[in-house]
Amino acid sequence: MKELIIIKMKKIVINGGRPLKGEVTISGAKNSVVALIPATILADDIVTLDGVPDISDVASLIEIMTIMGAKIERKEDSLIIDPRGVKDMPMPFGKINSLRASYYFYGSLLGRYGQATVGLPGGCDLGPRPIDLHLKAFEAMGAAMTMDGSSMKLATDGKPLQGANIYMDTVSVGATINTILAAVKAKGRTVIENAAREPEIIDVVTLLNNMGAHIRGAGTDIIIIDGVPHLHGTRHQVIPDRIEAGTYIALAAAIGEGIQINNVLYEHLESYIAKLEEMGVCMTISEDSIFVEKQTGLKAIQIKTSPYPGFATDLQQPITPLLLTAAGRGRIVDTIYEKRVNHVPELAKMGATILTLNDHIIYEGPNQLTGSSVKATDLRAGAALVIAGLMASGTTEITNVEYILRGYSDIIHKLTQLGADIQLIEE
């Protein structure tokens, strides 16, 4: 007799059209912490991370690290990680394949053991996101790659990794961080040219330098790493999540009647805020918070994403529902992930005047959205649908919410505190 397997499906149900007000505090950066946790493998003692968001990607990383032999304790928003028991072993493929940031185990395991065997990374389907740049960097430092079914093995044949001069053919956050992780214990000096400049890279480098690494240039396009034999334990505060902050700012401008967003670093959002001001969004920017007023008379704009410090690709989907409230016609061009348009047909189901043309998003407003049954196709598309559901009249049901829970900490509670009628339902 076959065993009956019951799969519980989750969905978010929103009764929209309610004005929101109050305060919300931004959690630690998802795009930092998914690299910071694997980076602790390089330490010879306990590392404590403060400000860790409560998201499913973190839960997956904790499970992977525990299987590898790490001891991890969670106390509120802190992770206490003892990596000394981590063993060089094949990664658990199920968890690896569900998590794009699993590729950071390549760099950290190579840096510690000179070899790594992991499944191919998963995550959101945003079109081609090759890891060729990662492999090019590892090979330059002396690691060879072989494939075994669905897993990839990187190894140096017992020789230590060697410092190298590495030019990134395209700007890549993941490849830049992975190269740093592999190079931090390599023999000699590694120079990364055309490196990505994102705040999350600076955050990872800050952790590593506090552990005893010698890394210079983070935040510029040239990063220099002088390898060291050992890294010690430390304590590190994760930076605020600029993408979560941008998402709540867009929500506040779209339907808020006065919302303060706390734990925000304005300098991480300058290009984004410049576009909001171009629309006519009224905000008061303080040292670590932004107050968004109730908006009227917004106008349509053109958006083109680009590597940091340009307009972040991760924010083009969350800002789209706000754009639908503006008067006029506008366009969104994503130069990072051209296929990042899957939220468009879902918003159209809700009555939005929006379409894609040659992978450009064309919208016209203002729009009055109506609740509908929609599907999150990736993390940031899911965030866009949550905002649209809050704006819409009637009830919106969002499926595939596992994507949303990957990157937005405590989202149901935070929105409820602002006055939203929103529930996470398990069926």
385 carries a ligand binding annotation: no
* Cis amide linkage into residue 38, ω under 30° from 0: no
Structure tokens at 188: 């000699």
Sheet of strand 328-333: strand arrangement: 302-304, 328-333, 360-365, 354-357
41 among the known binding-site residues?
no
92 CA to centre of own chain = 22
Q: What count of Cα atoms within 13 Å lies in the side-chain half-sphere of residue 331?
A: 7
The structure tokens 């430390």 sit at 234
Dihedral sign for Cα atoms in the order 64, 180, 110, 113: negative
Q: DSSP secondary structure string, 104-164? A: HHHHHHHHHHSEEEEEPP-----S----HHHHHHHHHTT-EEEEETTEEEEE-TTPPPB--
Q: 221: which residues sit within 8 A by CB, 6+ positions away?
A: 171, 193, 194, 195, 197
User: Is 226 annotated as belonging to a binding site?
Assistant: no
Determine contact, residues 259/253, Cβ cutoff 8 Å: no
| R_g (Cα) of the chain, nearest Å | 22
Among the listed residues 296, 297, 255, 291, the one whose alpha carbon sits nearest the alpha carbon of residue 273: 291
Q: Per the annotation, does 100 bind a ligand?
A: yes
Q: Is 132 annotated as a binding residue?
A: yes
Q: Report the C-alpha gap between 15 and 13 in whole angstroms.
A: 7
Q: Which residue in 58, 124, 184, 269 is the catalytic one?
A: 124
* 328-333 and 360-365 strand pairing: antiparallel
Helix/strand/coil percent split, the chain, to 5: 35, 30, 35
φ, ψ of residue 116 in degrees (nearest 5): -155, 140
Query: Does 367 appear as a known binding residue?
Result: no
Dist. CA 29–CA 48, nearest whole Å: 16
CA gap 374, 59 in Å, rounded: 26
Determine if residue 131 is labeled as part of a ligand binding site: yes
Q: Is 31 annotated as a binding residue?
A: yes
Cα 389 to Cα 122: distance, rounded to the nearest angstrom: 28
Distance from chain centroid for Cα 146: 29
Is 129 annotated to bind a ligand? Reply is yes
Q: Is 235 annotated as a binding residue?
A: no
Residue 282 annotated to the active site: no
Q: Which amino acid is at 49?
A: L
Residues belonging to the binding site for phosphoenolpyruvate are 30-31
Q: Would you please indicate which residues are annotated as catalytic (active-site) residues?
A: 124
Residues belonging to the binding site for UDP-N-acetyl-alpha-D-glucosamine are 100, 129-133, 314, 336
Residues belonging to the binding site are 30-31, 100, 129-133, 314, 336
